[in-house]
Chain A
Amino acid sequence: MLAVDGLVVRYGAAVALDGVSLEVGRGEMVALIGANGAGKTTLLNTLSGILAPSTGTIRCAGRLAHVPEGRELFPDLCVDDNLRLGAWKADSHDPSQVYDLFPKLRDLSRRKAGYLSGGEQQMVAIGRALMAKPDLLAIDELSQGLAPIVVQEIGRYLVQLNARTGLSVLLVEQNARLAFGLCPRAYVLETGSIAAHGPSARLWDEPAVQSAYLGGHVTT
């Protein structure tokens, strides 16, 4: 679905991504974890064409939709308008499928997006991206600023969606526990390059990942 090869992105003299390669298969859920400043958001902005890479290739066999860090809704517009605008390039502007996925949003459809709770806003952000009828959903910091129970709820929706429609997901997270729980395979991004990748279960045991993201070894 997505194949990134040797991606280099520079901000002036600073190198934000230094030869990143990764793949997301059709229907796969893949996690990308990394600390602040590792280059996660830069990678997503490059994938969605906001930033231009210096070198490297991005091949995407389908439509990619990007759920940005911090949700980035249109706060003055109502939920329904936020969703419909996500379909700017799609054929249908009808948000009923998103309402079926997140029934809570149907009741809030006339509410201005700026007045919603963080979890509801995250649902609108995901819903807006889904309106573009993507084949791959790239989500930046799903859990940021949300209560764990809300994150769990949204995570379940994503797994359901993936199982039902075969939507591929690239989940970019600081929270490794959450990302590994949802995605069978993962990459670890450190200061602009991939430091480790493989099945989440194996990365879980890597000492580097343990100390950096999971707060030390868990003795059982």
Chain B
Amino acid sequence: MSVLVQYLITGVSRGFLFALLATGFVIIFRVTKVVNFAQGSFAVLGGFIAYSLLGAGVPQGAAEVLAVLASAAIGLVFGAVTILGKMSPTASLVTTIGLALFSEAAAMLIWGTTPLTYNGLSGHDIRVAGIFVQPQYLLLIGVSLVSLIILWLVLDRTYVGKAMTACASNPYAARLSGINVKRMGLLSFAIGGALGGIGGVLIMPLFPITYDGDVNLAILGFAAAIVGWLRSPGLALAGGLIFGVAEELVAGYWSEANETAVALVLMILILLWQAHRRQRVEKLV
């Protein structure tokens, strides 16, 4: 029982990491129609920047916040490269893959190939449901949840958030209303960058990251985002949690080598089920 609880807590915290990345996919796709496969790079670069800042003696909290801001800035630059030209969404998708490869190479040159980690939140392990949990897990879950809630409130309640929704819903009409759709696209990339950075900064103390860790993160983030057809932040969160917990249960009860494979099979099953459901709905209409 306590082993199961341990797996669940680890799974949920990894799930929130995937949910942060998935939400980045969703926000960027909704506004720009670009599937940003550089989403994992934001997490890796964010984590690595925090590592370097800590090494330079910057206090923990400040280093982490600065790293998240740096990730947002990287997101902005990636967005500028991807959407400011006149590329089709498909060409932009390939561009994001190129940017991901580029940032892997840059990360390898700067930080090398060994997995990096740093100490997370200090303090005694906290007792949850009969087992002891590192406080960093709870920090990851708490900060992710709060970030996602704040993001949702900004999108749903603020004027700028509604303008972003308007760009997603009808870019032509948004332009006619005087909204700069490209600028909103850049904003979405910056938000995606910040979300990735938050995930990277918080996960690194728990799971060391290598320069090429972005691929796995992008794939699982994408898998979670596709649960809501890249459109629904709520379903992206649900998808993230499903994949995080599934991965951890597979790793725990079966074999760590199979965890990603099983998560991806799960993604394919969800896609098939959704396609089937969609067909049924279309028949009704």
Q: Within the complex, what minimum Cβ distance (angstroms) separates B41 from chain A?
A: 30
Query: Are A48 and B169 interface neighbours, CB within 8 A?
Result: no
Query: Are A76 and B172 interface neighbours, CB within 8 A?
Result: no
Q: Which of B133-192 contact A (CB under 8 A)?
A: 159, 162-163, 165-166, 169-170, 172-179
**Interface status of A116 (Cβ within 8 A of chain B):** no
Q: Within the complex, what minimum Cβ distance (angstroms) separates B162 from chain A?
A: 5
**Which residues in A have their C-beta under 8 angstroms from that of B178?**
88-89, 132
Query: Are B176 and A88 interface neighbours, CB within 8 A?
Result: no
A178 to B163, CA, bound (A): 34
**Which residues in B have their C-beta under 8 angstroms from that of A81?**
162, 166
Given contacts A72-B170, A72-B172, A93-B159, contact A86 B165 (CB under 8 A): no
Query: Are A73 and B170 interface neighbours, CB within 8 A?
Result: yes
Given contacts A85-B179, A88-B177, contact A77 B165 (CB under 8 A): yes
Query: Are B169 and A77 interface neighbours, CB within 8 A?
Result: yes
A75 to B170, CA, bound (A): 8
The secondary-structure label for the interface of chain A is loop
A89 to B177, CA, bound (A): 8
Q: Within the complex, what minimum Cβ distance (angstroms) separates B229 from chain A?
A: 14
Query: Are A85 and B162 interface neighbours, CB within 8 A?
Result: yes
Considering only CB atoms, which chain A residue lies closest to B169 in the complex?
Answer: A74
Given contacts A72-B170, A84-B159, A93-B159, contact A48 B165 (CB under 8 A): no
**Interface status of A39 (Cβ within 8 A of chain B):** no
Q: Within the complex, what minimum Cβ distance (angstroms) separates A98 from chain B?
A: 14
Query: Are A88 and B179 interface neighbours, CB within 8 A?
Result: yes
Give 14 A-B pairs besides A72-B173, A89-B178 with Cβ atoms closer than 8 angstroms: A65-B176, A68-B172, A72-B176, A73-B173, A74-B169, A76-B169, A77-B165, A84-B159, A84-B162, A85-B177, A88-B177, A89-B177, A132-B177, A132-B178
Q: Which residues of B contact A (CB under 8 A)?
A: 159, 162-163, 165-166, 169-170, 172-179
18 A-B interface contacts by CB (under 8 A): A48-B176, A50-B172, A66-B176, A68-B172, A72-B170, A72-B176, A74-B165, A76-B169, A84-B159, A84-B162, A85-B177, A85-B179, A88-B163, A88-B177, A88-B179, A89-B178, A93-B159, A132-B177
